[in-house]
Amino acid sequence: MTADDLRETSAALAGRALELPELARAGTVAAYVSVGSEPGTLALLDALRARGVRVLLPALLPDNDLDWGAYEGEGSLARVQHGGRMALFEPAGERLGPDAVTTADAVLLPGLAVDARGMRLGRGGGSYDRVLARLDRAGAHPALVVLLYDSEVVERVPEEPHDRPVHAVVTPSGVRRFRQEP
């Protein structure tokens, strides 16, 4: 994708996500800053902030768990290199602790793919598996939304016993919702 393609995709993704009732009602959204070839999230983060939404961003801990900090605009981000892995953009300010995510009304999750059942394939580090387990333990039930390219919505992804489906996937062309078991 060219830089123009990435900008257009990011804008389309932000527009689709902002139409979600779950985000329209949210006072706090836990999100992430896209890196590499991931669909761009900065336009969405800035639009949420402009609406008065408190946006929490992750900071990777040495054990792959996630701490959280508030997003105060692109200038509040620090580029952090984590060993031999890719550099991440993390909040430069105060850390709020791993449990801060339990206050979120919606959690935007990164992923490599989502399947027809709403199962998400992550990058394999387990950081967001820990987030989802933490939400369960706290009895928190935020909307779980994955941001992807259209081609990353597939028929089936591998699944492990601890995996659970997300509520929706947002792509540049639209939103797909998944039925949750009662």
Is 122 labelled a binding residue? yes
Is 80 labelled a binding residue? no
Is 38 labelled a binding residue? yes
Determine what percent of the chain falls in helix, strand and coil, rounding each to the nearest 5. Answer: 30, 25, 45
CB-based contacts of 154-159 (< 8 A; 24+ apart in sequence): 154/113, 154/114, 154/115, 154/116, 155/115, 155/116, 156/115, 156/116, 156/117, 156/119, 157/113, 157/114, 157/115, 157/119, 157/120, 157/121, 158/121, 159/119
Report d(CA 43, CA 46) in Å as an integer: 5
3-class DSSP state of 75: helix
Is 124 labelled a binding residue? yes
Is 97 labelled a binding residue? no
Output Rg (C-alpha) for the chain, integer angstroms: 15
Is 32 labelled a binding residue? no
Is 154 labelled a binding residue? no
Is 126 labelled a binding residue? yes
Is 173 labelled a binding residue? no
Is 121 labelled a binding residue? yes
- What the block records as the tokens of 153 is 């919505």
Annotated binding site: 33, 38, 120-128
Annotated binding site for substrate: 33, 38
Annotated binding site for ATP: 120-128
